[in-house]
Amino acid sequence: MPDAEVVPAGQGTPAREGTPPETALPVTEAVAEVLTRLGADTVFGVVGSGNFKVTNALIARGARYVAARHEGGAAVMADAWARLTGRPGLVSVHQGPGLTNAMTGITEAAKSRTPLVVLAADVASAAVRSNFRIDVPALAKAVGATAFRPRSAGFAVDETLRAYRVAATERRTVVLALPLDVQAGACTMPSIGPLAPRPAAAASAAAVGSLADALAGSKRPVFIAGRGARVAGARADLERLADRCGALLATSAAAKGLFRGSPWDLDVSGGFASPLAAELIREADLVVGWGCSLNMWTLRHGNLIGPEATVAQVDDDPSALGGHVPVALGVTGDVALTARAVADALGEASSGEVPSGEVPSGEVPSGEVPSGEVPGGKAPSGKTASGRPGYRSAALRDRIAAQVRWRDVPFEDESTGDRIDPRTLSIGLDDLLPAERIVAVDSGNFMGYPSMYLSVPDADGFCFTQAYQSIGLGLASAIGSAIARPDRLTVAALGDGGALMGISELETVVRLGLPMVIVVYDDDAYGAEVHHFGPDGDPLDTVRFPPVKIARIGRGFGCQSVTVRRRRDLRAVKEWLDGPRDAPLLVHAKVTSEHGSWWLEEAFRGH
């Protein structure tokens, strides 16, 4: 058996010391033993006959079991939990329909590169006519996941180790199929040591030098950090580099909040970008993607790249470079290590010659004020550590502070008295909700409002399950987030279509006693389709629905509920926040829907 490897330090500890080495165990117990020794301490699932014993074996070894009402919900909960803990998520499902029910959530996880292990019961190899039989490896491969399936009881431990290792070190979604005949067998439990973390890939010296040269010559650099930067914990290194070259800081939607608190934070690039953020990104002469795919959502189909701009991209996966937009400079390497190396290179360069086009410190041409400085002899608040002002200036810093947030962009409130403008709703909620929050957003016409108007404290404050763009995942992702981070208030932002699609998990929220706020933006329709096809005169009966009393449904599940039609109705939210929070709060917001969302106009261009 190959040596076992463990998740990096701080990413989980074994639930207990475990069975002595070389002890014979039933396969279900051996699988549970391996997983708990490697740090798995939380498992989401729906239990049937095929996964009953392995799930109970995990519980017996100290793992917390979270029962969902649907396998799709269980997979999404585990996905969200993994995103916020940085550890592989674990989900347990029955053979056949248990796995296929979970596939949308598994697809979302796979497309998001979430480390996730799916324990999926499977039929015995000889059961060729079983009604539960499906081609599990082909199904996993079709959605971008990796499949492992032990051929006999003797391979069960090895395959479990391999599955967990791939999930943990390669950040992959893995399906571990457990045939019923294999589960019924026994195997020897060998000694399992700690797993070694995957070494971070260092960029070549030549690539580091090229990127340093590009930044040294740039007058208006912008960094766009993505999921890879978030996973790498690269904020400090990217900010240090940005300080040296005068770059402004933006993120993809998946990394929203990464630079929160920086005066140079533009927030999200792409369809959710505020007018000022879009303007500044579009006027950049150098755009560098850090662990970011630079796809059509993040760059508005390339429209955020100015005609004279140079594009560079840094990623530890060489196949990601130039995958969505042509890049002049592609750098293969870990985001944090690369940023650190480039910052060091720029620092060395600044100690000697001043880059071309720069004015040496103290040598200001008569009548001119260097970019980033202010008259009067005071130190320039926009000046960088290396003496390169780049894009930064005191005036721009003040403009970002005053205008970069969507809530600071003037708009005409379209509330009618019977329905509330979703912008007014979102700003009102933002004012009431505690700063330490997690916002989990479902997909749909509404989704930009919470994404743009609800602030988050950092990158862990935003759970964005949009890689597959399925509606109905938002509530389950909020549950996984709340379990991962009980120290924060979780806010689920849903459309009425997605809320009703995933409504069964309201029972899970109530049963678990999660003090969560669930906001339903209700326009009585699949609003994206209404606004996309309506202008062409197409009939819309298939995507419009009669009003649903969602607040009453929430009360039926055991939630406290309030219907919001006017801003003053939000007083009930404040009362809940000030109270014991002994039941989740469902906010049923009847929102205006006169206009389509501009961000989905961008999305439909990609369909």
What secondary structure does DSSP assign to 125-182, as a single string? Answer: TT-TT-TT---HHHHHHHTT-EEE--SSGGGHHHHHHHHHHHHHHH--EEEEEEEHHH
H helices present in 201-299, as ranges: 205-216, 227-232, 235-245, 275-282, 296-299
Q: Is residue 198 very low, low, confident or very high in pLDDT (cuts 50, 70, 90)?
A: confident
Q: Is residue 4 very low, low, confident or very high in pLDDT (cuts 50, 70, 90)?
A: very low
- Give residue 12's pLDDT: 35
Q: Which of 433, 479, 427, 480 is nearest to 450 (CA)?
A: 427
Q: Is residue 596 very low, low, confident or very high in pLDDT (cuts 50, 70, 90)?
A: confident
Torsion of CA 532, 534, 537, 539, to 10 degrees: 110
- Give residue 190's pLDDT: 87
How many C-beta atoms surround the C-beta of residue 310 within 10 A? 18
Average pLDDT over residues 60-82: 98
Average pLDDT over residues 48-75: 98
Whether residue 13 has pLDDT greater than 80:
no
Lowest mean pLDDT among 204-213, 353-362, 426-435: 353-362
Whether residue 511 has pLDDT greater than 80:
yes
Q: Which of 566, 567, 586 is nearest to 505 (CA)?
A: 586
- Give residue 387's pLDDT: 56
Identify the helix (H) or strand (E) that includes residue 462: strand 462-464
C-alpha angle 39-43-44 in degrees, rounded to nearest 5: 155
DSSP character for 544?
B
Average pLDDT over residues 474-478: 98
- Give residue 365's pLDDT: 31
Average pLDDT over residues 341-352: 73
Q: What is the CATH number of domain 409-605?
A: 3.40.50.970
Q: Is residue 20 very low, low, confident or very high in pLDDT (cuts 50, 70, 90)?
A: low
CA distance readout (Å), 105 to 205, 276, 301, 465, 473: 40, 35, 26, 9, 8
- Give residue 363's pLDDT: 32
Return the CATH class of domain 23-189.
Answer: alpha beta
Q: Is residue 597 very low, low, confident or very high in pLDDT (cuts 50, 70, 90)?
A: confident
Whether residue 548 has pLDDT greater than 90:
yes
Helices and strands: H and E segment counts in the chain:
24, 20
Question: What's the mean pLDDT when you consider all of the chain?
Answer: 90
Superfamily of domain 205-352+383-403: TPP-binding domain (3.40.50.1220)
Lowest mean pLDDT among 87-91, 351-355, 408-412, 537-541: 351-355
- Give residue 605's pLDDT: 63
Pairing state of beta strands 437-441 and 462-464?
parallel
Convert 210-241 to b/e letters by CB count within 10 Å (16 or more is b).
bbbbbbbbbebbbbbbbbbbbbbebbebbbbb
- Give residue 589's pLDDT: 98
SS3 340: helix
Whether residue 10 has pLDDT greater than 90:
no
Residue extent(s) of CATH 3.40.50.970 domains in the chain = 23-189, 409-605
Q: Please, which contacts does 536-540 make with residues 24 or more away whose CB atoms are closer than 8 Å?
A: none
Whether residue 373 has pLDDT greater than 50:
no
Q: Is residue 136 very low, low, confident or very high in pLDDT (cuts 50, 70, 90)?
A: very high
H helices present in 351-504, as ranges: 394-403, 422-432, 448-453, 474-484, 496-501
Whole-angstrom Cα distance, residue 535 to residue 515? 41
**Percent of the chain at pLDDT exceeding 90:** 84
Whether residue 76 has pLDDT greater than 60:
yes
Q: Is residue 359 very low, low, confident or very high in pLDDT (cuts 50, 70, 90)?
A: very low
Whole-angstrom Cα distance, residue 454 to residue 407? 9
- Contact between 110 and 144 under an 8 Å Cβ cutoff? The reply is yes
Question: Among all chains, which residue has been given the structure tokens 């669930």?
Answer: 518
Average pLDDT over residues 455-471: 96
Q: Is residue 412 very low, low, confident or very high in pLDDT (cuts 50, 70, 90)?
A: very high
How many C-beta atoms surround the C-beta of residue 513 within 10 A? 12
Whether residue 288 has pLDDT greater than 70:
yes
Whether residue 29 has pLDDT greater than 70:
yes
Greater confidence, 21 or 259?
259
- Give residue 594's pLDDT: 86
- Contact between 82 and 91 under an 8 Å Cβ cutoff? The reply is no
Whether residue 209 has pLDDT greater than 90:
yes
Whole-angstrom Cα distance, residue 52 to residue 59? 11
Residue extent(s) of CATH 3.40.50.1220 domains in the chain = 205-352+383-403
